[in-house]
Amino acid sequence: MGAIANDEMITAKDGQQHSWKSIKLLIATLIVSTLGDGFCGVMMAVALPNISETYHVSIATANWVTVGYAIVAATAVMTAATVLARIGLKKLFFWSRVLLIVSSLIGLFSLNFPMMLTSRLIQAVGSGLMFPTINTVIIRVVPAKISGRVVSLNSAIIGLGIAVAPLLSGVFLTYVSLTSMYVVPLAVGIISILMGAKFMFDVEPRKQHPIDVLSTVLSFVGLAALMMGFSELTHRPLFAVPMLIVGVAVLAWFTVRQFHVDVPLLDLHPMKHLYVSIGVLMYMAGAMGQQAVLLLLPLYLERACDYTPFVAGCFLLIMTLFYSGSVIVGGKTVDRSGMWPVVSSGFLLMVIGLFATFFAAPTKIAWLVVLIGSVVVVGDALINVPDKDVVLEALPDNTVPDTSAIFSTGNQIAGSIGSALFVGVLSADVLRQTAEGVNRHAAYANGFQHSILIAAIFEVVMLLFSVWYSRELVKHDRAKINQPA
Q: What is the pLDDT of residues 264-286, one digit of tens each?
A: 887 888 888 777 888 888 889 99
- Degrees, nearest 5: CA angle 477-482-485: 175
State mean pLDDT over 444-449. 93
pTM, two decimals, is 0.74
> What string of DSSP letters covers 378-424?
HHHHHHHHHHHHHHHHHS-GGGHHHHHHHHHHHHHHHHHHHIIIIIH
Whether the Cβ atoms of residue 393 and residue 349 lie closer than 8 Å to each other: no
DSSP string over 55-103: HT--HHHHTHHHHHHHHHHHHHHHHHHHHHHHHHHHHHHHHHHHHHHHH
- CB of 183 within 8 A of CB of 111? no
Contact (CB, 8 A) for 248 and 107: no
Which tops the pLDDT comparison, 215 or 147?
215
Identify the pLDDT of residue 483.
40
| Residue 7: pLDDT band with limits 50, 70, 90 | low
By the 10 Å C-beta count (0-12 exposed, 13-18 middle, 19+ buried), 328 is classed as middle
Q: Stretch 238-256: mean pLDDT, rounded?
A: 92
What mean pLDDT comes out for the span 454-475? 84
Task: Say whether pLDDT at 456 is over 60.
Answer: yes
- Select the more confidently predicted residue: 214 or 22: 214
Q: How many CB atoms lie within 10 A of CB 345?
A: 20
End-to-end alpha-carbon separation of the chain, Å?
A: 36
With 60 as the cut, is the pLDDT of residue 329 above it? yes
Which residue did the predictor score with more confidence, 453 or 237? Answer: 453
Q: How many CB atoms neighbour CB 180 within 10 A?
A: 16
Query: How remote is the C-alpha of 253 from its chain's centroid?
Result: 24
pLDDT of residue 8: 67
Lowest mean pLDDT among 27-31, 122-126, 234-238: 234-238
Q: Which of 375-379, 461-465, 473-477 has the lowest mean pLDDT?
A: 473-477
pLDDT band at 479 (very low <50, low <70, confident <90, very high): very low
Tell me what the mean pLDDT of segment 303-319 comes to.
88
**pLDDT at residue 12, rounded to an integer:** 56
Nearest Cα to Cα of residue 323 among 205, 165, 464, 179:
165
Length of the chain measured in residues:
485
Confidence of residue 193 (pLDDT cuts 50, 70, 90): very high
User: What integer best gives the mean pLDDT of the chain?
Assistant: 83
pLDDT band at 28 (very low <50, low <70, confident <90, very high): confident
The greatest distance separating any two alpha carbons of the chain, rounded to the nearest whole angstrom, comes to 70
Q: What is the DSSP string of 147-184?
A: HHHHHHHHHHHHHHHHHHHHHHHHHHHHHT-SGGGGHH
**To which H or E segment does residue 37 belong?**
helix 20-42
Task: Indicate if the pLDDT at residue 101 is higher than 90.
Answer: yes
| More confident site: 59 or 244 | 244
φ/ψ region of 283 (left if φ > 0, alpha if ψ in -120 to 50, else beta) reads alpha
The more confident residue out of 196 and 143 is 196
What are 85-98's pLDDT values in tens digits? 888 888 999 999 99
DSSP E strands: which ranges in 186-303?
Answer: none
Confidence of residue 325 (pLDDT cuts 50, 70, 90): confident
Question: What integer pLDDT is reported at residue 45 of this predicted model?
Answer: 78
Is residue 74 within 8 Å of 198, Cβ to Cβ?
no
Q: Give the least confident one: 58-72, 112-126, 242-256.
A: 58-72
Number of Cβ within 10 Å of residue 430's Cβ equals 25
- The reply to whether omega before 362 is within 30° of 0 (cis) is no
Average pLDDT for residues 428-442, to the nearest whole number? 89
Q: Per-residue pLDDT for 102 more than 50? A: yes
Q: Which residue has the higher pLDDT, 186 or 79?
A: 186
